[in-house]
């Protein structure tokens, strides 16, 4: 596999020219220059309402629709009107569950996990007001995995939805969503997948996931603070309109975008796929846009695995360190999001020590509070989390390891 040319990669992200080492990418990646340029250009040349007959409005409309098509290609949506864009994953999940609320019947069973970000839990919990029964698919505290055998014990003929994460934003583990979908669909239920922690590291393929809903945020994938929710067309058509009374249930995706999309951020997001295709082409990939994006993500994964193993190998060597998640990179089963705790130390103290060296990492629960509580880690202030992206370097990880040495070697 041809390696990434990191100088070219890093040059695409202006923030990386600073002295800061960004290793909090699971909280928000750095933004591509081309994305910011698109937003800037949209605001200064086509910041008008869509749908009018004059030329600037027509150009603005074309840009917003082109952005939707670009996102549809990026995630492999079968129809571009399956793409619902909105402020954030949390906001889109509340829109979804609000739309589902009228169809909930008393006794309908919904399964959520205790490993997810609260974005894919809280909205589902609110459906209890309509009589839904919420079941919790709990992490196995020994394997730190969501075990399929435990899911099987929860599934019944009354299961209407299962909501889960594609990759944990704390554990870093990748979950077998297609296999979960197979089991859920066999009983007539549906699957909602939170792909926020997955999408920066693997090319999302909503059709291959076999999910019914798939959602993630662009600001974790080199873009602006914006998000996308994909849903199967027949499912979205079955939902009521949450827009104005004259926007009917057949008007996709507008009926689920009250107030419309953010025009300039939508246009900015189109630059993400453009970048991925260019990276793929630079690696020698040919073919469709998706094929070139896949080549880019294959190279990202290879590079990120090397960085993750560099840090994991160091952490494994320290007796007082407990890695929260898989302690090795094998068979693509984890993201380069690495969480750990150090015996006898508060996670905050470790992070604040690293702060002094101009390295951005993080401590806490990362809105996966139910997971932190299940693992009894709240007394340490949650975990220390180091989250890498494809633009990070081995030298940056070595610099982090040097900073950590004073903390993790203390006994």
Residue 121, phi-psi category: left (phi > 0), alpha (psi -120 to 50), beta (remainder): alpha
- At 60 the pLDDT is 98
pTM over 0.85: yes
Closest residue by Cα to residue 86 from 259, 273, 235, 274: 259
250/40 Cα distance (integer angstroms):
33
Tokens of 209: 């996931």
In this predicted model, what pLDDT tens digit does every residue of 247-281 receive, in sequence order? Answer: 999 999 999 999 999 999 999 999 999 999 999 99
388/327 Cα distance (integer angstroms):
16
The answer on pLDDT for 83 being more than 70 is yes
Length of the chain: 411
- At 359 the pLDDT is 98
Block residue for tokens 């453009």: 274
Tokens of 38: 């698109």
- At 409 the pLDDT is 76
Cα–Cα separations (whole angstroms), residue 326 to 75, 330, 331, 340, 404: 27, 9, 11, 11, 20
Level-2 CATH architecture, domain 35-272 = 3-Layer(aba) Sandwich (3.40)
If you classify domain 6-31+289-405 with CATH, what class do you get? alpha beta
Residue 381: helix, strand or coil by DSSP?
coil
Strand (E) or helix (H) holding 276: helix 263-282
Which pLDDT band holds residue 297 (cuts at 50, 70, 90)?
A: very high
In this predicted model, what pLDDT tens digit does every residue of 21-46 receive, in sequence order? Answer: 999 999 999 999 999 999 999 999 99
- Angle separating helix axes 347-355 and 394-408, nearest 10 degrees: 130
274/223 Cα distance (integer angstroms):
12
Q: CATH 3.90.1150.10 occupies which residues in the chain?
A: 6-31+289-405
In this predicted model, what pLDDT tens digit does every residue of 312-366 receive, in sequence order? Answer: 999 999 999 999 999 999 877 899 999 999 999 999 999 999 999 999 999 999 9
State percent of the chain over pLDDT 70.
Answer: 100
Q: CATH 3.40.640.10 occupies which residues in the chain?
A: 35-272
The answer on pLDDT for 410 being more than 70 is no
Cα–Cα separations (whole angstroms), residue 329 to 14, 38, 178, 206, 337: 30, 36, 21, 25, 11
State percent of the chain over pLDDT 90.
Answer: 97
The β-bridge partners of 190 are 161
């Amino acid at each position: 596999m041809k390696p990434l040319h990191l100088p070219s990669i890093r040059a695409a992200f202006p923030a990386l020219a600073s002295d800061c080492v960004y290793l909090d990418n699971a909280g928000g990646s750095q933004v591509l220059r081309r994305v910011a340029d698109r937003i800037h250009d949209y605001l200064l040349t086509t910041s008008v309402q869509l749908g009018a007959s004059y030329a600037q409005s027509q150009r603005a409309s074309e840009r917003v629709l082109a952005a939707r098509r670009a996102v549809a290609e990026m995630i492999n949506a079968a129809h571009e009107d399956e793409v619902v864009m909105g402020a954030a994953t949390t906001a889109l999940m509340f829109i979804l569950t609000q739309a589902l609320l009228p169809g909930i019947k008393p006794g309908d069973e919904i399964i959520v996990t205790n490993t997810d970000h609260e974005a894919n839990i809280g909205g589902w919990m609110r459906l209890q007001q309509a009589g839904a029964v919420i079941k919790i698919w709990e992490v196995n505290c020994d394997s730190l995995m969501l075990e399929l055998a435990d899911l099987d014990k929860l599934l019944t003929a009354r299961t209407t939805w299962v909501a889960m994460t594609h990759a944990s934003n704390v554990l870093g583990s990748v979950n077998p969503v297609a296999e979960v979908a197979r089991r859920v669909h066999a009983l007539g239920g549906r699957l909602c997948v939170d792909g926020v922690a997955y999408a920066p590291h693997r090319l999302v393929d909503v059709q291959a996931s076999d999910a019914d809903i798939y959602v993630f945020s662009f600001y974790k994938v080199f873009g602006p603070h914006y998000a996308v929710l994909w849903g199967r067309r027949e499912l979205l058509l079955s939902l009521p309109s949450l827009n104005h009374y004259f926007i009917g249930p057949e008007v996709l995706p507008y009926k689920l975008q009250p107030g419309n999309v953010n025009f300039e951020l939508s246009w900015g997001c189109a630059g993400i796929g453009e970048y991925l295709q260019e990276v793929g082409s630079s690696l020698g990939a040919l073919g469709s846009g998706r094929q070139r994006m896949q080549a880019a993500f294959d190279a990202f994964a290879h590079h990120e695995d090397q960085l993750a193993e560099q840090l994991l190998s160091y952490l494994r060597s320290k007796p007082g360190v407990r890695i929260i998640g898989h302690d090795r990179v094998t068979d693509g089963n984890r993201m380069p999001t690495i969480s750990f705790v150090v015996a006898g130390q508060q996670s905050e103290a470790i992070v604040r020590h690293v702060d002094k060296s101009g390295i951005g990492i993080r401590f806490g629960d990362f809105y996966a509070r139910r997971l932190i509580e299940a693992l009894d880690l709240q007394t340490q202030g949650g975990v220390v989390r180091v989250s890498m992206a494809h633009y990070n370097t081995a030298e940056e990880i070595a610099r982090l390891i040097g900073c950590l040495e004073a903390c993790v070697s203390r006994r």
